[in-house]
Structure 1
């Protein structure tokens, strides 16, 4: 049956971080857009951003927007009852592009913004789609699922993007044999089953922390990330008898629905060579030998150099796929170094202190 799309309105939630002293005299235009992995709220980036913003590179950043897909975090609570049991990763790409072209304010400002962003004028939207932002330099940082969908957004509208940082994105190289494909499918099925069986209800947040610290998966996380996950990924409610409990904002069924989609990453792979060379690409990849390559052996290296010009990469020592969760400080330091190199021209401006390197 053909329809005009999902019949219910869905909302995206976004955290905005802006310099308190931002003014027309010290504005650089550098705007960070940060997209999470499947299963995590937008606040999961805060430990990484704390490292970045406390560094010299923080002086060059006007504004940061932390994205939340429709079935994650606060968006999951708002959209409860309206979400479908089917999900195409292209929908997140569409939502990201909708934000870029129709809702991101024209210029960064320290002034408060309304709870619901107002739509920009249609003429401005058309101009952005044709030639990009006039007063912003958009740096995208995407991890895993967020890295894949942000890459697809870049491939479709490269004029909007100034630079791209990909933290082990789920952009798989197609398999050349049925056997290797079956192995990959088995890994994804394991993630899907694990998410379906994930516990989502506790009596208190203290009980959540206690149970997570007994789990090797969560024990590997940096303490500050685990703390913010329990703070921002869980909400207070009551059970049927009215007793206070806490629950995950994103239940396992929502996470498994996202894991079930397995084709958009292949589309992102096919178009990687055609991302314009003016856009610097930074690949941040795992160091551990047991990390999934998202494709046959050697796929990670090929992905990093499939568009060789203006590309760079780094392995985070000891890291697996969950780099943002396990090594937020090292991730923040690499973002710092990327900004200091790629946006060195910003430090020639009188209002930005030149860092001591």
Structure 2
């Protein structure tokens, strides 16, 4: 059913659309006792000569809208009957609609000047002193091997509703096929997904600002340790990014995070040396006015109503395997979802009992509902402030195309930016469904860019 004017945004993309709020000092910085409250110890795994370790860092501060951190979302409840489940869903949907009363798209527009950005950040910082957030990241570091002198750093960022561990099979395939000297790989959970969703529970509000993912990526760059050197569990801020200046950084952004890496490259042109989009969520600026308000976004509405609690992990696995959405996933990606995308419903009194999705469904719905903000990323890209390399992997059967997101016009824009593109058979969730093929393709892109170059220019 077509939306009427009252259900659409009815606004145009502002100019300039690329400014990000500055990163201010988080209340968690400088506190020697600051560490996230976690129900399980950090995870360490290995792959060939690589060791994967878990680290924490204070997330970008402040968040771009106070509703991103307050009021806190309620913890899900295990239903006792079908009727109870229906009632819980109705209550959740009611809260969802109430959250968007008084919504204004302009409240999420970027600042019009650096002065305005500074003033806005200072005001928000005062409002959010009690709700600083954490990011949880995974570091891939070579063990027992010398770090390549000019090896690059990869930063992988996942799609909405996913988490960093579902990227592992794809990154392993990339390593296996690549001839490019890679110093380290970093993969991060968004502030509300995976392990981040656990440590930030009680501090996550009902809304989402897409620019904050770009700020979290920039914030991570400023916390990167020297490749190959030991790093503490809680990473430390470093003014110049914390890495040797001759090491380029390549951002790999899937879906929602594809929008984030473009926004980052436009706001801070020196941050990234290259970007690889994986079926990015990018709406052309001219369609903004006709996009639905968050509460009328069909994807968001479906997410609010989804099942998010299970009696145990075994039941969750059976449920996932029975759903078309998950049935196409690579077995390892699905196993990662069950192991890391689910957490105990009550980690203190019943750690082995019922489980819930680590990402609160209201947060996942908020990201979908705010997908109109991808027009700001696209518009910032069209200004061409960025200086990095570009490659886009677009999926031939992606449902994004029918929903008005990146299409053939994006291929032309990438070409205009001096980049390349590749249309790959398959669906939008290619990271989870075809990790081997995707990883092999990403390796060819990196090899074309870097494998035969003896040195790199300083970026920061």
Q: What is the SS of the residue equivalent to 1:93? A: helix
Q: 1:250 and 1:217, CA in 2 relative to 1: closer, same or farther beyond 3 A?
A: same
Q: Distance in 2 between matches of 1:67 and 1:345?
A: 29
Q: Distance in 2 between matches of 1:223 and 1:41?
A: 16
1:96 match: 217
2:146 match: 23
Q: Distance in 2 between matches of 1:91 and 1:66?
A: 16
The Cα of 1:335 is off from its aligned counterpart by 0.5
Q: Distance in 2 between matches of 1:9 and 1:187?
A: 27
2:249 match: 138
* Aligned residue among 171, 174, 181 for 2:285: 174
Residue 64 in structure 1 maps to residue 175 in structure 2:
no
Alignment of 1:267-346 (within 5 A): 267-275=376-384, 278-288=387-397, 290-292=399-401, 295=404, 300-307=407-414, 308-317=416-425, 319-346=426-453
8 Å contact 1:174–1:295 — kept in the other structure?
no
Residue 154 in structure 1 maps to residue 262 in structure 2:
no
2:135 match: 12
* Aligned residue among 315, 327, 335 for 1:219: 327
Which range moves more in the overlay, 283-292 or 137-146?
283-292
8 Å contact 2:294–2:300 — kept in the other structure?
no
Q: Distance in 2 between matches of 1:286 and 1:293?
A: 12
The Cα of 1:185 is off from its aligned counterpart by 6.7
The Cα of 1:293 is off from its aligned counterpart by 5.1
1:114 match: 232
Q: 1:6 and 1:117, CA in 2 relative to 1: closer, same or farther beyond 3 A?
A: same
* Aligned residue among 249, 252, 262 for 2:358: 249
Q: Number of residues paired by the alignment?
A: 330
8 Å contact 1:173–1:266 — kept in the other structure?
yes
2:307 match: 199
Q: What is the SS of the residue equivalent to 1:158? A: coil
- In structure 2, the gaps of 5 or more residues are 1-65, 67-122, 456-460
Q: 1:274 and 1:176, CA in 2 relative to 1: closer, same or farther beyond 3 A?
A: closer
Q: What is the SS of the residue equivalent to 2:280? A: coil
Q: 1:286 and 1:80, CA in 2 relative to 1: closer, same or farther beyond 3 A?
A: same
When the two structures are superposed, what TM-score results if normalisation uses the length of structure 2? Answer: 0.66
When the two structures are superposed, what TM-score results if normalisation uses the length of structure 1? Answer: 0.84
1:98-152 deviation line (CA, Å, top 9, x unaligned): 222x3112x311x3311100122x4x36xx9xxx961321011001111111110
1:80-99 deviation line (CA, Å, top 9, x unaligned): 01112222111222222122
8 Å contact 1:48–1:328 — kept in the other structure?
yes
Q: What is the SS of the residue equivalent to 1:345? A: coil
- In structure 1, the gaps of 5 or more residues are 350-357
Q: Distance in 2 between matches of 1:177 and 1:89?
A: 15
The Cα of 1:43 is off from its aligned counterpart by 0.9
The Cα of 1:280 is off from its aligned counterpart by 1.6
Q: Distance in 1 between matches of 2:399 and 2:151?
A: 40
2:76 match: none
Point out the structure with the larger helix share.
1
Q: Distance in 2 between matches of 1:310 and 1:66?
A: 26
The Cα of 1:276 is off from its aligned counterpart by 5.7
